[in-house]
């Protein structure tokens, strides 16, 4: 089973954002101006991806002076954790180009920056911002050396610009991820790192959403758990709106939540006490967290730990969300089922999940809870995991299909829903309504 998890963690690999570079260009007096680029990464359903580049030309140009054929974009990806750091290289397809301000917003007349949007997709690895290292078993941000080469002349009032070659990075933007801060805490010799998001200060108390990552997002870089898949989306305007502003806490284990005292996934975790201590300390430090509205959730390896926490600290959390959870039903006693039945829980999985088959994990646990008298426990079992945006398709024009283990995609996009009390209710609507009292 451990081997299966590592295999899926590898295919989950995410996508690139990083960079250091150098500069070479020539075009008369123009060449004396400083030029550089910044990458922009966004966390998509399949992971973090560099979607665009903001190029600083150093001089203003008219907004109509650029087309998507003006520049060629080449990238070389590498990962310094590897013995041979090189991953791949190639040209990226520019899908849109426009003159912009420093932040990448289109201008009305002139600007000194150009945005180059590039083709992305779940199978286009050149855009990846994160790489899976088979040695460590973890994902990590990889390095990206971009070279932007001018292909067509740019006409301005002061003359024609040609021959630009820009390969110096001036930084990177990680959408949503940059809104999180990071930290670490040690309890009884166990150090856990974490990323957290704080809502705007107001005069009311705010709920806390805790999300526990999967196997490929362990390690010591706490931005990975929110970038390896779309967990950063808990800070998006859409999901935040359901909660009226919520804290988000994404703890990170240095190895795996499923590391038990007697074996992998044995129904225990050597990180459980440290994790609960971290949560309680975080709540104590943030006085405006509503302790009646603390929600816990996780996927896969993180779903396993979520199950342990609601088993052992059932009175602390107002509700739980678990996607493709990895605690075998055979490891849960009838007494523990009876203890958990009064906690609101929403289970999510896909029938095509071969890593943690629902018939061995989620389904029997859900049925036992219902049979024990659970009144607010729900299950969403999808046929498979597919793209719902309409942007990505297979060769036969049907929606792109992801690994069946990736049912967390539906959670992050708030595409899990059910008719409850006669009304269609999304998972986030349901979660935000739960309180301890």
Asked if 194 and 171 touch (Cβ cutoff 8 Å), the reply is: no
Residue 302 belongs to what H/E stretch? helix 301-312
265: left (phi > 0), else alpha (psi -120 to 50), else beta? left
Give me the pLDDT at residue 20, please: 32
Residues 417 and 289 in one domain: yes
What Å distances lie between residue 72 and 117, 167, 169, CA to CA? 12, 12, 16
Residue 427 included in any domain: yes
Give me the pLDDT at residue 157, please: 86
Spatial CB neighbours of 7, under 8 Å, sequence gap ≥ 6:
355
Residue 437 included in any domain: no
Q: Which residues of 418-430 are buried (b: 16+ CB within 10 A; e: fewer)?
A: eeeeeeebebbeb
Give me the pLDDT at residue 259, please: 98
Residues 276 and 319 in one domain: yes
Assign 138 to helix, strand or coil. Answer: strand
CA distance 256 to 258: 5
What are the φ and ψ backbone dihedral angles of 27, each rounded to 5 degrees? -175, 55
pLDDT digits (tens, 9 = 90+) for 159-186: 899 999 999 999 999 999 999 999 999 9
Residue 183 included in any domain: yes
Residues 30 and 134 in one domain: yes
Q: Count the domains in the chain.
A: 2
Residues 225 and 123 in one domain: no
Residue 418 included in any domain: yes
Asked if 414 and 346 touch (Cβ cutoff 8 Å), the reply is: no
Question: Which of 146, 175, 204 is the C-terminal boundary of a domain?
Answer: 175
Asked if 358 and 349 touch (Cβ cutoff 8 Å), the reply is: yes
Q: Which two tokens stand for residue 401?
A: 């299909």
Residue 68 included in any domain: yes
Question: Which of 134, 160, 175 is the C-terminal boundary of a domain?
Answer: 175
Residues 332 and 239 in one domain: yes
Residues 296 and 201 in one domain: yes
Residues 182 and 291 in one domain: yes
Residues 153 and 263 in one domain: no
Asked if 327 and 310 touch (Cβ cutoff 8 Å), the reply is: no
Rounded to the nearest angstrom, the gap between the alpha carbon of residue 210 and the centroid of all alpha carbons in its chain is: 14
Provide block-wise average pLDDT over 10 residues at a time, the chain (437 residues): 52 36 35 79 97 95 96 97 95 98 96 97 96 93 97 92 95 97 97 97 94 97 96 98 98 98 97 98 97 98 98 97 97 97 98 97 98 98 97 95 98 97 96 95
CATH code at 88?
2.60.40.2180
Residues 244 and 153 in one domain: no
Residues 144 and 234 in one domain: no
pLDDT digits (tens, 9 = 90+) for 102-112: 999 999 999 99
CATH code at 254?
3.40.50.1820
Residue 20 included in any domain: yes
**Nearest alpha-carbon partner for 298 in 328, 273, 326:** 326
Q: Is the whole model's pTM more than 0.85, yes or no?
A: yes
Question: Which of 155, 175, 195 is the C-terminal boundary of a domain?
Answer: 175
Per DSSP, 2 falls in state H
Provide the domain limits for residue 61: 2-175
Residues 91 and 135 in one domain: yes
Residues 125 and 182 in one domain: no
């Amino acid at each position: 089973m451990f081997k299966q998890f590592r295999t899926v963690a590898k295919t989950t690999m995410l996508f690139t954002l990083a960079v250091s570079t150098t500069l070479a260009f020539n075009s008369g007096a123009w060449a004396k101006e400083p030029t550089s680029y910044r990458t922009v990464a966004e966390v998509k359903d399949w992971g973090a991806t560099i979607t665009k580049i903001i190029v600083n030309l150093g001089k203003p140009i008219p907004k109509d002076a650029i087309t998507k054929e003006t520049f060629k974009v080449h990238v070389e990806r590498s990962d310094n954790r590897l013995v041979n750091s090189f991953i791949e290289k190639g040209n990226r397809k520019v899908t849109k180009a426009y003159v912009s301000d420093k932040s990448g917003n289109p201008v009305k007349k002139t600007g000194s920056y150009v945005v180059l949007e590039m083709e992305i997709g779940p199978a286009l690895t050149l855009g990846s911002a994160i790489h899976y290292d088979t040695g460590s078993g973890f994902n990590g941000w990889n390095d990206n050396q971009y070279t932007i080469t001018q292909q067509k002349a740019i006409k301005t009032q002061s003359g024609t610009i040609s021959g630009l070659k820009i390969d110096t990075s001036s930084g990177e933007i990680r959408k949503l991820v940059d809104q999180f801060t990071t930290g670490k805490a040690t309890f009884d010799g166990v150090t856990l790192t974490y990323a957290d998001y704080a809502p705007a200060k107001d005069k009311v108390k705010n709920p806390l959403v805790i999300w526990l990552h999967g196997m490929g997002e362990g390690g010591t870089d706490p931005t990975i758990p929110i970038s390896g898949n779309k967990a950063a989306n808990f800070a998006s305007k859409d999901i935040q709106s359901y909660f009226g502003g919520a804290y988000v806490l994404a703890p990170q284990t240095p190895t795996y939540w499923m590391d038990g005292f007697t074996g992998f996934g044995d129904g225990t975790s050597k990180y459980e006490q440290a994790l609960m201590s971290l949560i309680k300390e975080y709540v104590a430090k943030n006085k405006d967290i509503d302790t009646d509205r603390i929600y816990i959730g996780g996927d896969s390896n993180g779903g396993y730990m979520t199950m342990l926490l609601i088993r052992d600290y059932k009175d602390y959390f107002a509700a739980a969300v678990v996607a493709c959870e990895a605690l075998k039903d055979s490891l849960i006693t009838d007494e523990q089922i009876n203890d958990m039945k009064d906690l609101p829980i929403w289970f999510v999985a896909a029938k095509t999940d071969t890593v943690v088959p629902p018939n061995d994990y989620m389904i029997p646990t859900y049925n036992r809870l219902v049979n024990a008298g659970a009144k607010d426990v729900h299950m969403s079992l999808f046929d498979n995991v597919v793209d719902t945006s309409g942007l990505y398709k297979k060769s036969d024009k049907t929606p792109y299909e992801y690994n069946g283990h990736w049912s967390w995609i539906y959670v992050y996009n708030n595409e899990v829903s059910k008719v409850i009390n006669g009304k269609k209710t999304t998972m986030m609507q349901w979660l935000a309504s739960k309180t301890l009292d």
